[in-house]
């Protein structure tokens, strides 16, 4: 019998209730907190994030989900890079819903996961991570492309609410 990718993947997990200690242990740091909390977390992990890949997953949504709180000439990812100047910030995993992680295949198609960043080797490592968890990685450009990626998720949220996708929807480039 052919096993699916989800069946054969496994991981050892350790929960650490301290962002500094967890970041110290990590090779790749994923800051999975709301945009508003990133300043606080970045301040705590700044030293231990030195030269590490830090994934910006956040979407800086306003409280009514019809706009972003960031100015048009920046993004959550770029703001995180300013807070962590010695880290390699990569935008990834923001254009998907939480439910897509357990099911990155929708209607038989692998969901695309867009990646943006300024460091080539960090982009490659992030693409491998994205692929390992089941998405199709697409490097979209440098960190400024995060502005578009964060707006893409805003649109996906609005479409989800309009058409009732049940929070299981994703982007797919057909070519
Ligand atoms: N949910 C999605 O479908 C989705 C999709 C794409 C991207 N994202 C992005 O992923 C991030 C997390 O989303 P979520 O839905 O998981 O949010 P969430 O349910 O609000 O979870 C936030 C987590 O952040 C922690 N947190 C909040 N403030 C903190 C602080 N100051 N220091 C340390 N930890 C803090 C919370 O811990 P406590 O519970 O202990 O307070 C909680 O575990 C957000 O930036 C969001 O934009 C979410």
pLDDT in tens, 69-112: 999 999 999 999 999 999 999 999 999 999 999 989 999 999 99
Write down the pTM of the prediction: 0.94
What's residue 4's pLDDT?
A: 40
pLDDT reported for residue 103:
86
pLDDT value at 39 more than 50: yes
Q: Which of 175, 150, 7 is nearest to 91 (CA)?
A: 150
- Cα 36 to averaged position of ligand 1 atoms, centre (Å): 10
Residues 6+ apart with CB under 8 A from 23: 29, 45, 48, 49, 52
pLDDT at 1 over 50: no
Residues facing 54 on adjacent strands? 29, 89
Q: Which domains does the chain have, with CATH numbers?
A: 16-163 (3.40.50.720)
Mean pLDDT of the chain: 93
- Distance of CA 31 from the midpoint of ligand 1 (Å): 8
DSSP state of 92: -
Is 68 strand, coil or helix? Answer: strand
Tell me if residue 82 falls in helix, strand or coil: helix
Region of poorest pLDDT, from 6-10, 17-21, 91-95, 97-101: 6-10
How much is the pLDDT for 9? Answer: 63
Residue 2 has pLDDT above 90, yes or no: no
Q: Answer yes or no: are the C-beta atoms of 150 and 94 closer than 8 Å.
A: yes
Torsion, Cα 114 120 124 129, to 10 degrees, reads: -60
Is pLDDT above 90 for 42?
yes
Share of the chain above pLDDT 70, in %: 95
DSSP string, 147-174: HHHHHHHHHHHHHHHHHT-TT-------
Q: Is 144 helix (H, G, I), strand (E, B) or coil?
A: helix
CA distance 100 to 49: 28
Residues with CB under 6 A from ligand 1: 19, 32-35, 37, 40-41, 57-59, 94, 96-98
Helix (H) or strand (E) holding 91: strand 88-91
């Amino acid at each position: 019998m052919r096993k699916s990718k989800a069946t054969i993947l496994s991981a050892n997990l350790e929960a650490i209730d301290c962002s500094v200690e967890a970041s110290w242990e990590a090779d790749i740091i994923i800051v999975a907190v709301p945009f508003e909390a990133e300043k606080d977390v970045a301040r705590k992990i700044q030293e231990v994030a030195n030269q590490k890949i830090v994934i910006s997953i956040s979407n800086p949504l306003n409280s009514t989900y019809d706009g972003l709180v960031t100015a048009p000439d920046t993004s959550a990812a770029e703001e995180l890079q300013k807070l962590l100047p010695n880290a390699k910030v990569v935008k990834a995993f923001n254009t998907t819903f939480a439910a897509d992680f357990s099911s990155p295949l929708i209607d038989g198609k692998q969901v695309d996961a867009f990646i943006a960043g300024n460091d080539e080797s960090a982009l490659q490592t992030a693409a491998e991570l994205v692929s390992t968890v089941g998405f199709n990685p697409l490097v979209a450009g440098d960190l400024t492309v995060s502005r578009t990626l964060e707006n893409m998720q805003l649109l996906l949220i609005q479409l989800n609410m309009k058409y009732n996708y049940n929070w299981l929807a994703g982007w797919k480039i057909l070519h």
